[in-house]
A and B are shown apart, each in its own frame.
Chain A
Amino acid sequence: MKRIFFMLAVLMAAFAAPVQAETILRTDEVAVGEMDPYKAKDVADSILLYNLYDTLVFPAVDGSGSGVKPHLAEKIDIDGTKYTITLRDGVKFHSGNVLDAEDVVFSINRMNALGQGFSYLFKGRIKDVVAKDKRTVVVTMVKPYAPFYAALLRLAIIDKDDVLAHKVAGKFGEFGDYGQKYLHSNAAGTGAYRLESHDPQQLTVMRKFKDYFAGHAAKSPDVVRQRYSLKDPTILALMSRGEQDIANQWIGPETQRSLVGLKGVTMLKEPGIAQYFIKLNTTKAPLDDVHCRLALSYALDFKAIHGQRRITDEYVGAKPAKGPLLETMMGYDPTMPDFAQDMKKAKAELAKCKYKPGDHRIEITWIAEVSWEERMALLMQQNWGELGFKSDVVRVPWVLFTERTSKPETTPHVGQINFNARTPDPDAYLYPLYHSSTHGQYNAMEYLSDDEVDRLLDLGRSTTDPAKRATIYTKVIRRIVDLRPSIYGFQMVNLYPKRDVVMVPTLEKPNMNTGLMGGNLIFRLMEMK
């Protein structure tokens, strides 16, 4: 009898033993969360991409700051136009299937076939992609294209068998719809988290994938809940009640100020991802004269511009720019001077300009959805007014702005743009901004046509030696700064309010910043306290 009682007691104790509660990380982003990695284009999509999927390469996150390294790939050998990719052995997809070369071939073909998201990084560049054996893929480029290695950062590798098992009829022949319907609300990756539920406008729930090949930090969150489209007061209330742990980078300065006033809330700083440009239409008088452009640049009060991004003394969402390149990129030249207001130089340049400041009114636009740009526009109006320029500050909704900038004659004199780095390669940043072949897109609204800039940008693409490329990009940014098609306001420092219940090493430890849009919120590296 005693024995029975004893066994019952043991059983009860076993059932009554405290269960370790799972840790949940709550974040938010701007809608929508695009689940299909080949349609991803912004921050929310990129966060999903880097946590649910993996790429062949990824920036080193070991604190070495050694740049982009093989990730799903074990090694990548480059020989002119030929990239031989050897895959890691035994990497598992969420379905349980094992990654092989066919998955990589399928992924590249799907990216090109859909032609959406980051496919512009690959489109027209790849001549051939072949699975040589289970673990080896050979990609042959049409011609030498150095940015390809970094472009692989945007190629999520998907589970071919899983996707094809769920294909429905579509326009891609034997591939049906290429699994678009399935991947709209399911994930088929190898990522550190697997998808539990997804509503692109509301919420994505992700759970730790136990078989992840690269492992998780010891205290990484078990579950991540990423909400979409929360408004500032909602975020403030949620964080004050401990119901949200990391907030998005887009919230207004007043809310950011209120948030850091809360106990246990600080802000993560993420530099090196984006830059604020004041873009000048170089085809319209008086901005078709480089001296007028230089005059406007020298007349601008850069200190006041940076001040607009000040939240507190500790948190300023800007740091000085030294030209069009981000500090995390190859070719960035730290010896170039910071831009500063110099009215003497401004007047000297104005004297060389073929136009009188009163000859033409300047249209200064600001994007209706980005309220702080209005303050910037008013500052420009005031500073340039001191030189005698007359201007109009005009609010333009985003869709209208993209429409207007599609032709030089409808493009306003001045536009403001925050431009994100899609990959850490300088080509992915400078080419769409300044190469004449990109005219018609809002990012190239300067309509700069300079043979030397075009030549150097093309050379940067085709040169494979990193040292030579760095020299080329340093040269090209000096040339661009001399032409001053844009005024380089500041490098953005994205600020993410965060409760002290979580540690984010990529933004809190030295040399861990991936320099990749959406690439710093890697949940497997985070530590819940």
Chain B
Amino acid sequence: MLIRYLIRRALAAVVTLVGVSMLIFVIARVIPGDPARIALGPMATKEQVQDLRNDLHLNDSLPVQYWEYVKGVSHGDLGISLYTRGPVADDLIKTFPATFELILASSILMIAIGIPLGTLAARYRDGIIDNFSRLFSLLGVVTPNFVWSVSFMLVFAFWLEVLPVAGRLSETVMAPPHVTGLYLIDSLIAGQWATFRDAFAHILMPAAALSLASIGQTTRLTRANVGESYERQYIEFARAYGFHEGRIAAKYALRPALIPTLTILGLDIAVKLGSAFLVEAVFAWPGMARYGVYVILEKDLNAIVGTVLVIAAFFLVINLIIDIIVAFIDPRIRLGVRGQ
């Protein structure tokens, strides 16, 4: 049952990706500005601009351009970036792991802090923890992540000088041997503890800045959903049976409350891939979010389409993973039982 469901979702994902590629292909070409002129600079002659337009097939009709693009993609060629002048695929391979590591770290913070805090807030409603979580969530949600970034940088890098300012590693530290592209994991695999410590120190501030809004949102969602669970009769029964409060919270209140929370979190994690731009910019984090914004500003057509496709694929994969997790949490979904 589950496998059939997954196959159906995977096929839908392929159709979605094709649709996204067509849509973004057209949108990228509608943005004002001639990409050839932007790439060559203001002093290039008209002939030079025309030559480059021909190379990029920009003088062809949109269907022809799209066909040329699809032909390239089928060979794993996403074209050349006019921004970096290198193959788009290489740029994405180089930048994606950095952003993914950042998102992963911020998502861990979001789950590790947001869910327990929300559960405690629901359990001790209107108490000190609840009031604290409310203030914390509000601050997290209303303050843009670049403000957190700059504030963290001022406090921890500029005044206290306890955390590094920029990049993924210090200039004296070599990157670990490439396995996943995630320095924290690769350094652990290689047993390079010093590199791990350095990478950890570098990711702390950007991950925290990126996660605060999500922590706030997770806390509020969890609080609301767990609060609802606490009002159910089975919680009363559990209490009547004399179960420990911790067991009631984790097993009977939190578990059913996790399903809507996880669905929203899935979306939130995927959205981070695009919204990490400002955090990456402030901390000079060499990631894909920053790359994506620069290529839009430069009207770098191949890179725009490539970046959006990766974001869309990431979005679909994350949602698929969430669906699987939800299916495991909720047996009705796993067993294909419709709601009563």
Contact = CB atoms under 8 A, between A and B. Distances in A.
A402 B284 contact: no
Interface string B13-37: 0000000000000000001111001
B158 A400 contact: no
B238 interface: no
A464 interface: no
Contacts of A115: 44, 47-48, 51-52
B45 A231 contact: no
Interface stretch (A29-37, A278-286, A298-306, A386-394): A29-37
A109 interface: no
Given A116-B44, A123-B48, A234-B166, A399 B284 contact: no
A253 interface: no
B84 interface: yes
A341 interface: no
B337 interface: no
Contact of B37 (A32, A36, A402): A402
Contacts of B230: none
A441 interface: yes
Contacts of B108: none
Given A116-B44, A234-B165, A399 B51 contact: no
Contacts of A403: 32-34
Among B42, B51, B294, B297, max chain A CB count under 10 A is at B42
Given A116-B40, A241-B161, A399 B281 contact: no
A233 B84 contact: no
Interface residues of A, number: 49
A185 B41 CA distance: 21
Nearest to A238: B165
Interface in A223-239: 225, 227, 229-231, 233-234, 236-238
A120 B45 contact: yes
Nearest to A28: B284
Contacts of A236: 158
A37 to B, nearest CB: 12
Interface string A397-424: 1111011001000000000000000100
Contact of A36 (B33, B48, B85, B171): B85
A443 B44 CA distance: 11
B165 A200 contact: no
Contacts of B37: 402
Nearest to A243: B165
A233 B282 CA distance: 7
A381 interface: no
Contacts of A233: 150, 153-154, 282
A144 interface: no
Contacts of B158: 236-237, 240-241
A135 interface: no
Given A241-B165, A400-B32, A201 B85 contact: no
B69 interface: no
B317 to A, nearest CB: 25
Contacts of B47: 115, 123
A511 to B, nearest CB: 28
A39 interface: yes
A378 B103 CA distance: 41
A201 B291 CA distance: 8
Interface of B: 31-34, 37-38, 40-48, 51-52, 83-86, 91, 94-95, 150, 153-154, 157-158, 161, 165-167, 171, 281-284, 286, 290-291, 294, 297-299
22 contacts: A39-B85, A116-B52, A184-B86, A185-B86, A200-B84, A201-B286, A202-B284, A229-B281, A231-B281, A233-B153, A234-B282, A234-B284, A237-B154, A237-B157, A241-B157, A241-B161, A241-B165, A399-B299, A400-B33, A402-B34, A402-B42, A403-B32
Given A34-B85, A234-B165, 19 more contacts: A32-B84, A36-B85, A39-B85, A41-B40, A42-B41, A120-B44, A199-B94, A199-B286, A200-B86, A201-B84, A201-B294, A227-B166, A231-B281, A231-B284, A234-B284, A237-B157, A399-B299, A440-B46, A443-B43
